[in-house]
Chain A
Amino acid sequence: MNKQDLSGLIMADPRYSEACRSCMNCGVCTAICPASGYYDYDPRVIVNLVRESDEETLTDMLSSDLIWYCGQCMSCKPRCPRGNIPGVLIQILRAVSINTGLFVHSALGRQQLAIKRSIGHNILETGYCVHPTRVDPETHPEQGPVWAWMSNNADQVYGRFDKGYDKAGPGLLRKISPEALGDLDRIFEVTGCKKLWNTIETESEKHI
């Protein structure tokens, strides 16, 4: 990794010009940020570190837990007096961290493997990010007994609201057609998502 790579990769993202303009260090983003109230996290500092463009500092940041705390609520956006969006800047930093393999040096970054294997696979296998058959009450005790009832009796519960549940045609949780799933699969190939997933798998494997 040469000295300019990380800063260049960050600024090459199409979202950068919208996310990072002219910070005046007021700290409103940190004041409004839900993650700042829960973690030792300060989006104002992250904006500063990115704007400094020091490669050693960026390497450390992209290898750390710091970039994985944000909850992506975007509460920072409407309050920033300079029109910055620290939440979008975080998305850019995470993308660069994954693409460069730095994410595996962070415990929170390594969670990307589990997310890829759950949400990612849900998308290509079912056409939905979330599906009743894949939200297991055993691993989601916070969902409570009503969810367990829904999940364990899915055909009857969902079928009450739509006869088309899990069947071809429009309607509630319809079965997504093989043609539509094929479209998704080719889009994921052509646009580089499968390459990203391969990076997540191989870099995680190397770290283990």
Chain B
Amino acid sequence: MKKYWKDYQKDIAEDNYFYVRSCIRQNFFPGAENLFIDILRNKLGKVVFEDADHTTCTGIGYHTDIVPLETTMTVVARQFALMKEKGFKNLVVSCVTSFGLYSEILDLWKHQPELKKKIAGYLVEATGRIFDEPGNMVHASDILYKYRHEIAAIAKHKLVDKETGEPLKIVDHIGCHYAKTFPERGVGGSEFPQVLTGLINAWGGSTVDYPERRHCCGFGFRNYLVQANRGYSISQSKIKLESMQPYEPDLIVANCPGCAMFLDRWQYTLEETEGSVYGPNDRKIPVVTHEELAGLVLGYDPWEIGLQTHQVPVEEMLDKIGIEYDPDLKYADRQGNLIGNPEMINQQVC
């Protein structure tokens, strides 16, 4: 068994990270990436570099078939070139779509070196840059997994009910392009996903296994981006939510920004359109990202890490753990001035 499990481990660099951001995570979870960088630099003492000139990897365009393979490869090669220019070798990717895409590209270049040579030519022609492949390439959740026990050692909170002492029941959702495109590049692969359960267990929570644990969140790229196709997307999230409902989860955690967004937003839509909610006591289930989960146990202010940008309110979950927050600052700006409240319709207001 031990020998078998070794096949599901991966090499995660210890330090000196070149960080590339996610389009979706920046848009919908705007506190998460700066939180991740802060944890690495100021809690774990790591070096993290972010290049202002990195761009989208084009992943959403690639998977909606409006950006060809060789274009995407050359854009990714440019990211690698920026890393080389700054003297870094360890790439940390925020987005799961990007992570899957980088994995696919490196695999294709491994099997077809002439393709890599062609892309190198395109990059020089277009930008004058040259690149090296990363020495180590991981998803941001891999770093938190690697240092989960170090984070537990300095944590301010545990993922337990402060009243009963019982572990919170937490659903993990692993992004498909983290675990399914190249299972050997994800901790535990797609069959034995460990990257988030490792965090949950190390920080005091309990994980919920349920029949549709591995089902896609439903992004479906063109199946969401085109308004007429969105029935596909919400239907897939509904399959997951119905499947997890009997286990009465306190919380969902996802390492893919798209998955976190859809599992959050579609709960709102399902309540509005069908009156359906899937959490215990006729409530919706809060959804957080891996960075936000780490931030909560480490004692960061929930509003400073962006939990007010989630559609499903998080206050009941915070109260259950015993995390303090100032309700008056939830919808405030940087100076503490109230921006104005979102127009809540039929919401569980906390």
Contact = CB atoms under 8 A, between A and B. Distances in A.
A162 interface: yes
Contacts of A191: 68, 70-71, 73-74, 122, 126
B267 to A, nearest CB: 9
Interface stretch (A23-31, A47-55, A56-64, A166-174): A166-174
- What range describes how many residues of A lie at the interface? 35 or more
A128 B52 contact: no
B75 A15 contact: no
B309 A157 contact: yes
B26 A34 contact: no
Given A15-B108, A188-B71, A180 B53 contact: yes
Contacts, number: 253
B202 interface: no
A13 B331 CA distance: 50
Among B21, B56, B179, B220, find the residue whose CB has the most chain A CB atoms closer than 10 A: B56
Contacts of B111: 17-18
Nearest to B29: A161
A120 interface: yes
Contacts of A95: 65, 68-69
B180 A119 contact: no
A157 B339 contact: yes
Interface in B123-138: 123, 125-127, 129
Among A128, A144, A158, find the residue whose CB has the most chain B CB atoms closer than 10 A: A144
A152 B122 CA distance: 40
Contacts of A163: 334
Nearest to B77: A187
Nearest to A185: B126
B39 to A, nearest CB: 15
Contacts of B56: 123, 127-129
Contacts of B302: none
A119 to B, nearest CB: 5
Contacts of B340: 149, 153
A77 interface: yes
Given A171-B34, A183-B127, A186-B126, A119 B225 contact: yes
Interface residues of B, number: 98
A159 interface: yes
Contacts of B65: 91, 94-95, 98, 112, 115
B13 interface: no
A104 B298 CA distance: 53
A176 B1 CA distance: 49
B232 A184 contact: no
B55 A34 contact: no
B33 interface: yes
Contacts of A200: 66
B75 to A, nearest CB: 6
A14 B109 CA distance: 10
Interface in B242-278: 265-266, 268-269
A111 B71 contact: no
A8 interface: no
Interface in A1-46: 13-15, 17-18, 34-35, 37-39
B220 A123 contact: no
For the complex of A and B, 5 pairs with smallest distance between CB atoms: A71-B220, A149-B342, A73-B216, A186-B126, A129-B60
Interface of A: 13-15, 17-18, 34-35, 37-39, 68, 71-75, 77-78, 91, 94-95, 98, 108, 111-112, 114-116, 118-120, 123, 127-132, 135, 139, 142-150, 153, 156-163, 168-174, 176-177, 179-181, 183-184, 186-193, 196-197, 200
27 contacts: A15-B69, A38-B231, A68-B222, A71-B219, A71-B221, A91-B65, A98-B65, A108-B229, A120-B67, A128-B26, A128-B27, A129-B58, A130-B24, A132-B27, A143-B311, A144-B268, A144-B311, A145-B345, A162-B30, A183-B55, A183-B129, A184-B55, A186-B125, A187-B71, A191-B70, A191-B71, A193-B71
Given A145-B311, A160-B334, A183-B55, 16 more contacts: A71-B218, A78-B183, A111-B226, A111-B229, A144-B268, A145-B344, A146-B342, A150-B30, A157-B30, A157-B333, A157-B339, A169-B52, A171-B52, A173-B26, A184-B75, A196-B66
